[in-house]
């Protein structure tokens, strides 16, 4: 899909606050509300906008520990990779599951209530999985930057 400067400005505005009405976005990008609404709908329907979510503070809901886990699998056969991906999709503690190149196969970002919960999680998904060769857990001490904003720029 070809994006023009108006589309990019709309995307920037929605990333800052997806609760803005089409009238508010239209005013920011200097378009009519009807044209802006039509573009916003097109951006969503075409898959440029993947979803509209509220970002929840994990600590506010009792999930004060964030971790990054590096996972290496024994076998990279397609069926084994798919099995691992499906297991990760079914784990609500996982915020992100990234299949990557390099020394490891997956990078996971997850949030836990405490270390006991993580131990149960690791037992179920890592120690209990014969296809997991090894995993390394990094406990996040501080979120220096946190978000899903994608940089967009206009030609102007």
In this model, does residue 73 exceed pLDDT 60? Answer: yes
**Which of the four pLDDT bands, split at 50, 70 and 90, describes residue 1?**
confident
> Is residue 126 domain-resident?
yes
CA distance 21 to 142: 33
Model pLDDT, residue 148: 86
**131 and 67 within one domain:** yes
**123 and 86 within one domain:** yes
CB atoms within 10 A of CB 26: 22
**29 and 79 within one domain:** no
CA distance 3 to 134: 42
Q: Which of 76, 57, 42, 24 is nearest to 84 (CA)?
A: 76
CA distance 105 to 26: 43
**131 and 86 within one domain:** yes
CATH number of the domain where residue 17 is located = 1.10.10.10
Interval 95-122 mean pLDDT: 97
**96 and 33 within one domain:** no
Beta-bridge mates of residue 32: none
CA distance 66 to 109: 7
Model pLDDT, residue 115: 96
Number of structural domains (the chain) is 2
Q: Which domain holds residue 111?
A: 58-139
CA distance 88 to 97: 7
**Which of the four pLDDT bands, split at 50, 70 and 90, describes residue 47?**
very high
**67 and 38 within one domain:** no
Q: Output the pTM of the full model.
A: 0.86
**133 and 82 within one domain:** yes
What mean pLDDT value characterizes the chain? 94
**135 and 69 within one domain:** yes
CATH number of the domain where residue 128 is located = 3.30.70.920
In this model, does residue 55 exceed pLDDT 60? Answer: yes
> Is residue 11 domain-resident?
yes
In this model, does residue 153 exceed pLDDT 90? Answer: no
135 three-class SS? strand
């Amino acid at each position: 899909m070809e994006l023009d400067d108006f589309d990019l400005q709309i995307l920037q505005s929605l990333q800052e606050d997806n609760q803005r009405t089409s009238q508010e976005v239209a005013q920011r990008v200097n378009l009519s509300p009807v044209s802006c609404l039509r573009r916003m709908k097109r951006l969503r329907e075409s898959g440029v906008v993947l979803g509209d979510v509220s970002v929840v503070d994990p600590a506010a809901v009792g999930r004060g520990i964030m971790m990054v886990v590096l996972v290496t699998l024994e076998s990279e056969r397609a069926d084994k990779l798919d099995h691992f991906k499906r297991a990760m999709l079914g784990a609500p503690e996982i915020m992100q599951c990234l299949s990557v190149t390099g020394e490891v196969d997956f990078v996971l970002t997850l949030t836990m209530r405490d270390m006991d919960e993580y131990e149960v999680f690791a037992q179920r998904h890592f120690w209990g999985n014969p296809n997991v060769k090894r995993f390394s857990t990094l406990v996040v001490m501080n979120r220096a930057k946190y978000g899903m904003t994608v940089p967009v720029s206009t030609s102007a």
